[in-house]
Structure 1
């Protein structure tokens, strides 16, 4: 068992969120020039290769890591995440990084709201209030009634809902399968699924620079997943998870400095409300988990 080191874990999570934000910036650039399915498919091919190579290096190899009692659930998770990534990248091209990330950070609130019906977990009134407050933040960002409502504003919200469902299915899968097994199926199932569709929309990179950006996207994807795994290996999820929100800050910074996006005050206010509500739900979930552990 790896020795716990919360400070190193937090540093790794901050580095991971920066990597993922950089990935989002590269995806925004490539998806504005090429079909989204092409970009995500190439990324997933590299991701699957990384997952298989990592599994092969573990005791028992791929045969042990891939063994699962719930193959349909694992395949469904992998396909759902691949679809969510496609939807989110479309959101980047329609809205930019700033607004897309501001809405997407609502996914922990959706997780909390759905944890009852999906996992049978009890959600107390405090978390329900936080969920309600968080969605007020979403409405502030979308501003229905105060401007001509753009349907594309719902794209990152759909991505947040899809990612929340993926997170819940991952927690359900964890009741029977190890994290290594779930990680394997995430990469392989997603790669197979998108490879069934992506070739029909294939667009080869037209310049050496774009191939370089695509290679960077693939490498950073593998690196980001590796550093995230190490972060959760060095500290409890309740310590590390709140720092994942820094992806919003890094993503917004890239959107403003690289793509010339503007941070409007309703977006900043709504994101702050969502962030506060999300952190509160994480804290309450941690408190409830500790109380339950003491009773055992």
Structure 2
């Protein structure tokens, strides 16, 4: 999966509020190896994703999260249409899919996952939400068998088990510390994992540009059907926050696309975890969140297990 350009890398900002859609491929082959620059871009993207999550929390505390996500998806849909229009075949090619129901389902799952993440930001904070969401790569590995029929070896199952021990360290069940809200980011991670696996599934028949288009458009339509009933005008200062959120979303996705034009996904995915550092800084400094020791230890366990799982999948694909 790491070498599959249709696979969304870890970026809880979409799932978080920024989980990225599948990346449309470059129309030109890379002239030379630019992995170093691509890694720097991925680190910058992770920082922007963290800012994006901070903007989402600010807006989510004052307005219904469904309204925040709906407006953001409207802007994202325009971005998708503009980007796809510049690809070979344009919109006519992007609309044609051999799996319309699956493509629509993917878009709906992703927008629902973004909505859950924004709600989790408000209820749990950025730090604990992302700490639990780091289970996403492990869930991808665990579900790749039943969803895609892939064989998962004992090494990856061991890593998955160790990763879920890390989740238990974060949640501390039975200690009186665990809250029911902690299930929100876990549910979002599960949905994001399913979204990633379905993206791999449709990539067998549809090129990335088609999946990219349907992700944005199906998601925008779905959230509008639900969110339009919660419409209210934002205060003038909050429109500035919304503009920052949308600008961060478009900038991060554009830079991520450029990064994936320069280097393989397997080389970039580990650096997407730097988002955890930025999220922790923003959560503690800006929102006064507490970085509890069990969260730090548990997150470290989950990240190590996730990196091992990604490495094993890369070895298998090689």
Equivalent residue number for residue 252 of structure 1:
280
Matching residue of 2:16: none
- Does 1:156 pair with 2:177? no
| CA contact 1:55–1:65 (8 Å) conserved in 2 | yes
* Contact 2:171–2:177 (CA under 8 A) maintained in structure 1: no
Equivalent residue for 2:176, pick from 147, 161, 174:
147
CA deviations on 1:220-262 (whole Å, 9 max, x unpaired) are: 1111111111111111111111111111111111101110111
Query: What whole-Å deviation, never above 9, does each CA across 1:135-176 have from its counterpart, x for those lacking one?
Result: 000011110111253110111111110101001111111111
Q: Whole-Å Cα distance in 2 between the matches of residues 231 and 150 of structure 1?
A: 38
Q: Name the structure 2 match of 1:55.
A: 84
Distance 1:65 1:281 in 2: 32
Distance 1:125 1:148 in 2: 33
2:199 — aligned with what?
Answer: 170
1:213 paired residue number: 241
Alignment match of 2:289 (pick from 261, 264, 277):
261
Residue from 94, 100, 111 that aligns with 1:82: 111
**TM superposition shift of 1:59:** 2.2
- Corresponding residue number in structure 1 for 2:42: 13
CA distance in structure 1 between the aligned counterparts of 2:254 and 2:209, rounded to whole angstroms: 12
Q: Is the 8 A contact 1:35 1:203 kept in 2?
A: no
> Cα RMSD between the aligned structures?
0.9
Give the TM-score, by structure 2 length.
0.89
* Structure-2 change in CA distance of 1:236 and 1:148 (3 Å): closer
Unaligned runs of 5+ in 1: 291-296
TM-score, normalization by structure 1: 0.96
Mapped to 1, the partners of 2:176 and 2:63 lie a distance apart of 30
Please tell me whether residue 32 in structure 1 is matched to residue 61 in structure 2.
yes
Establish whether residue 240 from structure 1 lines up as the match of residue 268 from structure 2. Answer: yes
Give the drift of 1:51: 0.3
Runs (4+) off by over 4 Å:
none
CA distance in 2, matches of 1:57, 1:148: 51
**Structure whose residues are more often helix by fraction:** 1
CA distance in 2, matches of 1:261, 1:38: 25
Task: Give 1:185's match in structure 2, choosing from 189, 192, 214.
Answer: 214
Residue 255 of structure 2, aligned match among 220, 227, 230: 227
Q: Give 2:18's aligned residue.
A: none
The aligned residue for residue 163 of structure 2 is 134
